[in-house]
Amino acid sequence: MLPAHRVVVVAFPGVELLNVTGPAEVFSVATRVAGTGRPGYTVRIATPGGEPVTTSGGIRLMADLTLDEVPGDVDTLLVSGAVRVDDHAVEPVLDDGIVDWLRTTAPGVPRVGSVCAGAHLLAAAGLLDGRTATTHWRTAARLAADHPLVAVDADPIFIREGRLWTCAGIASGMDMALAMVTEDHGPERALVTARTMVMYVKRAGGQSQFSAPLTPPPAPDDRLDELRRWIGEHLAEDLSAEVLAARLHLSVRHFSRLFRDRTGTTPAAYVESVRLEAARRLLQDTPHGLPEVAALSGLGSVESLHRAFRRRLGTTPAQYRRRFR
C-alpha cells in the first residue's frame, strides 16, 4: 500500500475555524471513503509554539506540533489566514514568525496552498511573486497594493499555479481541497467525497455559482430518490416527463406535481440541471469536442448545449472550457 499523503495546516490565533477544519475534513472523508488498504491522507495542525489557538469565533483548536517540528517529508502545506476588523475596515493578520518560517520551509514542499488571507502570508514570504493568486474578496485589493509583483484575481474561488494554490477562503478552502483530492486520486474519489459531504462536486471558480448540485435533498418517496439516481445514469436517453412518469406507473400530471412538491423543481428543469452538470464536467475534465459533450450529457445538439449554458451560466461552452479547464 502506498503511504498516506502528509498534510500540515498552519494555524495561529484569530484564524477562521473553517479555514482550518474545512480542508482537513475533506481530506479525512476522502481517506474514509477510499476504504481499507487504499492510500489516503494524514492531517496535522501546526502552530508557532505548538499551543492551542483561539479562532475568530472563540472556538479553540488543539495543535499537533510546533512549526519547528514540521517534518521535512510533508506533501502538502496549507497556511490558513486571519483578519481583524477595525472601524469596518478589514486587515489581514501577518505573523512575522510564520512568514520567516515559510521562506525557509515552503520551497521544499511539493504542494503549498493558502486559505483565505493566508495568501498575504505567502506573498510576504515572496512565494507568490510573478504568479497569479486569489484571496478573500475583502482583502484582495490590499494584497494587490502590498505586493505589486503578484497578479491578484479576486474572481476565482481558487487558483492553481504549479505547486502553489490560493483560494478565496472559508468554504472555498473545501473546494480547493476537493480539487487536490482529484489531482491525487482522480475524479471518482473526489465525487464520492463530495457526495458524502453533501458538497458541490466541483466549484471551478468565480464568486458566482457555476456548479449544479449533485442532487436535490433526498425525497421521502424512495421511488423518486431511485428515479433521480436512474436519471443520472441515463442522461443520453429520453427523459421526458412522459417516460419518467411511466417508470413510476403514474400519470404525467400526478408525477409532475409529486416531483415538484418533493424536490422544489419540475422534472424538465431537474433533468436539464443534471445534464448541464455532466456537460460542465466533460468540458473541464475531457478533450471531447462540443458535439460529443452535447451527446454524452444528453443535451443532444451543440445548439442545445449553447442555449443551456447561456441561460443558466451566462456564458458559452467554449468560454467556460477556456476559463475552467
Let me know if 222 is exposed, middle or buried by CB neighbors in 10 A (0-12, 13-18, 19+). exposed
Question: Do 188 and 220 belong together in one domain?
Answer: no
Mean pLDDT of the 246-266 span: 89
pLDDT score at 187? 83
Q: pLDDT value at position 77?
A: 98
Decide which of 276 and 312 is more confident. Answer: 276
Domain boundary among 196, 229, 263: 196
Specify whether 162 is located in the same domain as 38.
Answer: yes
Percent of all residues in the chain with a pLDDT value above 90, rounded to a whole number = 65
Residue 24 located in a structural domain: yes
Closest CA to 118 of 100, 96, 153, 93: 93
Within a domain: residue 32? yes
CA atoms of 299 and 165, how far apart (whole Å): 34
Q: Which three cell numbers stand for residue 143?
A: 494584497
Q: Is 306 in contact with 279 (CB distance < 8 Å)?
A: no
* pLDDT value, residue 17: 94
22 with 69, same domain: the answer is: yes
Give the pLDDT of residue 105.
96
Residues 232 and 316 in one domain: yes
- List pLDDT tens digits, range 14-44: 999 999 999 999 999 999 999 888 889 999 9
Residue 55 lies in a domain: yes
Question: Which of 140, 162, 196 corresponds to the end of one domain?
Answer: 196
Asked if the structure places residue 250 within a domain, the reply is yes
Residue 218 reports pLDDT greater than 70: no
In a domain, 204, yes or no: no
pLDDT at 212 over 80: no
As for how many domains the chain has, the answer is 2
The residue with greater pLDDT, 153 or 87, is 153
Residue 206 forms part of a structural domain: no
Three cell numbers written together for 167? 483560494
Q: Are both 76 and 143 inside the same structural domain?
A: yes
pTM, two decimal places:
0.67
Is residue 207 assigned to a domain?
no
Choose the weakest-confidence range: 19-33, 44-58, 201-215: 201-215
pLDDT score at 261: 82
Residue 57 clears pLDDT 60, i.e. is over it? yes
Q: Which domain holds residue 24?
A: 5-196
> Both 100 and 16 in a single domain?
yes
pLDDT of residue 222: 67
Residues 184, 118 within the same domain: yes
